[in-house]
Structure 1
Amino acid sequence: MHLSSLQLACAALAALALSAAAAPPAQTQHHVARRSFFNLQCKGVYDAAIFARLDRICDDCYTLFREPQLYSLCRAKCFTTPYFKGCMESLYLLDEEEQIDQMIDFVGKR
């Protein structure tokens, strides 16, 4: 069973399209997160893993309460608002408070 040149060309185009479609989102997410880091007025060191962890707290808090402004208020001033602390409390993360505060200090340079 041999593939015709048309079938081979279609398979190659499909593989190329799949690989091209898969690559940009990871790069785009990185650039969006980095831009978000600066938009939040974070003046520390950008670390994707730490920033993602802090951002996830705000995302989980929004998911819990479904209050549209909560996500932005939680992230405001590089995660240093009382809303962020309230989210930590609501998500039962106070036992990790010292570690999370160190993360905020690292990215935010309080």
Structure 2
Amino acid sequence: MSPKAPHQTTCCRLLMFVASLMLLQTVTPSSIKIRPNTFKEFQFIKCQGEFDKEQYSFLVQICDDCYNLFRNPNVLLDCKANCFQNPVFPACINRLLLKDKETEIKGKLYYVSGADPPSYPETHDAPAMVLL
């Protein structure tokens, strides 16, 4: 073995280590698996109200059903974003024909988000375009 061989091995190992670190930095928070309907997920989507598993699970189920309807992974993430305070969530309510439960949904939304739910327009056609 030549005297440069140990140096080359060390250099190669160092390059592999740096490459591994760079790969770890590219992992986004959304790719980290958080168990559904847990307090950790509640915090992750920035809910600041009270964590009541039953009420929270009810709202998550709306997003899950909407995802199952459209089979678009972005729908699931966007529906839960900002603690359900976004244009996709009311579009999902409309598409899932849950208008008759809107008062109940708003109550649960207020409880878990800690903020008044946005007033939903009578038709949700514009936000529903996000779902397609």
- Above 0.5 in TM-score? yes
> Which of these two proteins has the greater Rg computed from alpha carbons?
2
**Larger RCO of the pair (alpha carbons < 8 Å, separation 6+):** 1
1:49 to 38, 47, 54: 54
Question: 2:97 is matched by which residue type in structure 1?
Answer: Y
Unaligned runs of 5+ in 1: 1-28
CA distance in 2, matches of 1:69, 1:45: 26
Deviation for aligned residue 1:48 = 0.3
Match of 1:106 in 2: 111
Runs (4+) off by over 4 Å: none
Residue 73 of structure 1 pairs with residue 78 of structure 2: yes
Give the share of equivalent positions with the same residue, in percent. Answer: 35
Q: State the SS of the aligned residue for 1:101.
A: helix
Match of 2:120 in 1: none
Unaligned runs of 5+ in 2: 1-34, 116-132
CA distance in 2, matches of 1:78, 1:100: 13
Deviation for aligned residue 1:80 = 1.1
Match of 1:60 in 2: 65
TM-score, normalised with respect to structure 1:
0.70
Match of 1:84 in 2: 89
> Root-mean-square deviation (CA), in Å?
1.7
2:100 to 89, 95, 100: 95
1:42-80 CA deviation, whole Å, 9 max, x = no partner?
000000001110000000000000011000000001011
